[in-house]
Structure 1
Amino acid sequence: MAAFESDPPAAADDILATLYQVILERKQLAEGEKSYVKSLYDKGLDKILGKIGEEATETAVAGKGGDPDEVIAEVADLFFHVLVLLGYYDLPPARVYDELRRRFGLSGLEEKASRGS
């Protein structure tokens, strides 16, 4: 992914929202324009899901390895590919933030019971 044209925002939700907007722009590139994001969308949902699985596995391996820099790098890759999945469905990251806010303050058992599963 190319560097931002200006300085990236400081707040976590701002950087994720900004990155998401770039992902949506790349999703709309014309046929033949080169972009990693565009290539994922062109290959379809299974490719995107495969990348998420790959990055989740690499995150788990990094977590087991205990190198903080490696953990950060792999989580960043995982976040990126999750944003690509959200973009596939045109779901803004704010929807995830809202869900996390809804769950905040609930115990895990209370949250699970609220879903009815």
Structure 2
Amino acid sequence: MRWLKLLAGWFWRVDASLGGDAKPHLGQRFSAAHPVRLGLVAGAAVGGFLILFLLIGAATGWEYAFALATLLFCLCVAAFAGVSMMGIGYFERWRQRHYGHYPHEVQDERGSHP
């Protein structure tokens, strides 16, 4: 338990020294506010890119372009990319909450400024 607190303290010190405590920009705010949407967009983009390669392979005569194993591999890679980006979005939300930058709606309300 002591080691866990020590590692967490080191992480937050390194993060703050690298500029992690600065106000998040628009992309960071979006990823923290919409991690599932970020994961879906990233997974769809990677899946579309892989399908493009499969179509090029099929056009050049690759006989296994639309085999079940190939399509399953592309689906798994796209799902992994989407879940990874969703995890990054949730991590960004956690990091912004630590520094007090999230939720943005509460901080940007009228009357909250002196």
TM-score, structure 1 length as denominator?
0.38
TM-score, structure 2 length as denominator?
0.38
Task: Answer 1 or 2: higher relative contact order, Cα 8 Å, separation at least 6.
Answer: 2
Larger Rg over CA atoms = 2
